[in-house]
Structures are given as C-alpha cells and as structure tokens.
Amino acid sequence: MSLILNLFFPPKCGFCGKIEEISSEKFICDECLNKIEAYRLKSKIDEEVYSIYEYKSIIRNAILDYKFRDKSYLYKTFKTCILFDKKVCNFINSYDIISPVPLYYSRFLERGYNQTALICKELSKYTDIAYLATLDKVKNIKPQPTKDLAHRLSDVIGVYKLKQSVDISDKKVLIFDDVLTTGATTRECKKELLRGGAKSVGILTLARGIDNKKIKGEYNEQNYR
C-alpha cells in the first residue's frame, strides 16, 4: 500500500520540495540535510537538556510552517533531522518514555494536530523509547513568544497536570517540545512529572532560541522536589 501511495504522492523534501526516490523515508534531500548542519548545536545544555538546532534561518521557517501554516507532514522531515546524529539517538534511548508537551484542547481543534506529539510518535517508531502522552494542558494561555520573561515564567504555573490514568513511577521520562526559549514550559512540565513519581525527567527540543548560559542549571531536579 505504501508503495502505491508513493507512486501517486512521492515523498518530497520538507525544506526545498524536491521529490525523493520512491523508496526513501527521509523526507529531506541530501543537499538540505547538509545545509542544516550549519545550524546544529555542538553540545547539550546539561546532561538532561538537549536542543538540536539553532532557532534561525531555514530551521525557524520550517518550524513556523509546521506549527502555523498547516504543514503537518513536516513531522516526517523533522524525525530524520533529529535522528541524523547518533549522539541524539543515544540521548533518546537513555529514557524509558518520550512524552509531548500538550496543547490546550481548543488550540488542538484549531490546529488539527499536536506538532510535538506527531514527532514523538515517529521517534518512538525508530528508537527504543516508548511513546506516552503523560500530561494535559488545563489552562489556555497566550502564546509564549508574545510575552516577556517574567510573564512567561509566571503564566505557566499550574498549566500542566499529570493525566489521571498515567503511571510513571520510577520511569525516566523525556519531554519533547519544538523550541526552547526561556524553558518556562518544559520546566513546568518537568516539575509535574517529578511530582508524579518519575525517576528522572529530560528535555529534548528540535531547536533552541536562547544561549546556554542563560538557562543552564535551571533544570536541576532539586528545584522541583
């Protein structure tokens, strides 16, 4: 069935639109894959926080297309971008569960998909980590990029709650989000998961829009116990 679909809807590069070979599952051409390497970050923020690319240029444009311009199919391209680096794969596989940052239900209905969940599910398929939606977003807040640092930090307090049916006791949970800026969202998610019994909580984001030094140490678990 997939071969038939590929004949009529051949896989394309998510960055430039170039049609790939029918058998390809990369959804990114070699030229673009090499081009985005210029934006790959060289090191983790700390042992449990890993952002893969700088949030700029073609990376930023592709993420905006994915989130706000109805290009949900880009999750397949981003999966390839994330797993291209063996160090990232090893980081992912060091956790038991990968969990997306949730959307508020009205935002989900408006967009039609949770961009972080689509990527999480793909990562689970190609690695040893299990996918599990662990959190609900119980309050609707304005998009974080529109706010200053103080409001970002205060607005997310109490926004994310552990799902009642979820048991993460003694599990190592990896939170996935698209962009890390101040880290307010992922810090709040981590706090809730640790309260829910997680053994440890890591952060993985596709891109980072802030310098390491500004947030390094903010994810230390002692801040959440």
What would the pLDDT profile of 64-112 be if each residue is shown by its tens digit?
999 999 999 999 999 999 999 999 999 999 999 999 999 999 989 999 9
DSSP state of 173: E
Residue 151 lies in a domain: yes
The contacts found for 130-134 with CB under 8 angstroms, 24 or more apart, are: 130/96, 130/97, 130/98, 131/97, 131/98, 131/99, 132/97, 132/98, 132/99, 132/166, 132/168, 133/99, 133/100, 133/102, 133/163, 134/97, 134/99, 134/162, 134/163, 134/166, 134/168, 134/173, 134/193, 134/196
d(Cα 22, Cα 35) in Å, to the nearest integer? 22
Quick one: average pLDDT of 152-156?
Answer: 68
When pLDDT is cut at 50, 70 and 90, the band that residue 211 belongs to is low
Residue 112 lies in a domain: yes
Residue 134 lies in a domain: yes
What is the residue range of 188's domain? 44-223
User: Taking 60 as the threshold, does the pLDDT of residue 8 lie above it?
Assistant: no
Whichever domain contains 101, its CATH number is: 3.40.50.2020
CB burial class (10 A; 0-12, 13-18, 19+) of residue 107?
middle
* Predicted pLDDT at 154: 66
Count of domains for the chain: 1
What would the pLDDT profile of 13-50 be if each residue is shown by its tens digit?
999 998 876 456 789 999 999 999 999 998 778 889 99
Residue 13 lies in a domain: no
Lowest mean pLDDT among 110-114, 117-121, 219-223: 219-223
Quick one: average pLDDT of 178-200?
Answer: 94
Structural contact between residues 62 and 14, judged by C-beta atoms closer than 8 angstroms: yes
Q: pLDDT: is 147 or 109 the higher one?
A: 109
User: Taking 60 as the threshold, does the pLDDT of residue 150 lie above it?
Assistant: no
